[in-house]
């Protein structure tokens, strides 16, 4: 994941003879071989269930709590130190939709460099990212970081548009007209289907990706009524050892 395309998928058919509990344990062991697991929230959880909780990004919900789609992002851009790798195990796919999408940070960067260099330069400046309520007493409710960085010959990207929009408002520093135009340009390129790889998740599929090099998202989904069949992913955040 450090080199190459930045992500890989393990076909869930490999685990067809295993129970849900056994598959989850296998997934846990694979994650731990890749590095150290991050605590993901103030509940100190290292394995987080990704499912629709009836929330909305427009009303302050976090992306993984909704069934919304289209929001390409890197995970935890509101953290000072973001996880190096992301792991996701599909326990149940959606009834309809929820197709996974992946876009290379290099593809996005190089297209902007070629066609919109001025806007790209602005994305190397710092922006406020809303922590979405995940902060302790006395801490800032936002983190102030650039969207693109290039250090030690490595390009890295952190981004989730809603978190930037809300973070700037929280700090009473609304985005300027030019900043909005730069982010609109970035969003347009991110959603260029010619740059994206798509994958339809099946039960027990496992996805691992480089969080600084690959943006991911999904299409909106429709869920089952039966709670046992509802779309469920198990997510891990991993630090490269």
pLDDT of residue 48: 93
pLDDT of residue 219: 86
Is the CATH number of domain 7-239 3.60.130.10? Answer: yes
Burial of residue 126, with CB atoms counted within 10 A of its CB: 0-12 exposed, 13-18 middle, 19 or more buried: exposed
Domains in the chain: boundaries: 7-239
pLDDT of residue 77: 94
Cα(188)–Cα(113) distance, integer angstroms = 14
* pLDDT tens for the chain, residues 1 to 241: 677 789 999 999 999 999 999 999 999 999 999 999 999 887 899 999 988 766 555 655 565 666 666 678 999 999 999 999 999 999 999 989 889 999 999 999 999 999 999 999 999 999 999 998 888 888 999 999 999 999 989 999 999 998 999 999 999 999 999 999 999 999 999 999 999 999 999 999 999 999 999 999 988 888 888 888 989 999 999 999 7
pTM of the model: 0.87
Cα(142)–Cα(109) distance, integer angstroms = 25
Task: Calculate the alpha carbon distances from 59 to 55, 168, 203, 204, 229 in Å.
Answer: 7, 16, 30, 31, 26
């Amino acid at each position: 994941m450090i080199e190459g395309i930045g992500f890989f998928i393990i076909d869930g058919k490999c685990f067809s003879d295993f129970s849900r509990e056994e598959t989850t344990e296998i997934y846990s062991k694979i994650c731990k071989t890749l590095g150290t697991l991050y605590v993901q929230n103030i509940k100190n959880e290292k394995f987080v269930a990704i499912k629709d909780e009836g929330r909305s990004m427009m009303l302050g919900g976090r992306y993984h709590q909704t069934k919304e789609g289209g929001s390409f992002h890197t995970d935890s851009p509101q953290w000072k130190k973001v996880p190096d790798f992301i792991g996701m195990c599909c326990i149940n796919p959606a009834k309809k939709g929820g197709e996974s999408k992946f876009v290379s940070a290099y593809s996005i960067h190089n297209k902007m460099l070629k066609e919109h260099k001025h806007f790209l330069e602005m994305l190397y400046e710092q922006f406020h990212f809303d922590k979405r309520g995940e902060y302790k007493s006395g801490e800032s409710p936002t983190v102030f970081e650039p969207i693109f960085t290039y250090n030690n010959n490595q390009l890295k990207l952190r981004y989730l548009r809603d978190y930037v929009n809300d973070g700037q408002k929280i700090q009473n520093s609304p985005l300027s007209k030019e900043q909005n135009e730069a982010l609109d340009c970035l969003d347009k390129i991110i959603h260029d289907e010619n740059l994206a790889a798509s994958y339809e998740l099946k039960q027990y599929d496992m996805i691992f990706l480089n969080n600084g090099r690959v943006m991911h998202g999904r299409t909106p989904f429709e869920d089952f009524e039966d709670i046992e069949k509802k779309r469920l992913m198990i997510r891990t955040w991993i630090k490269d050892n």
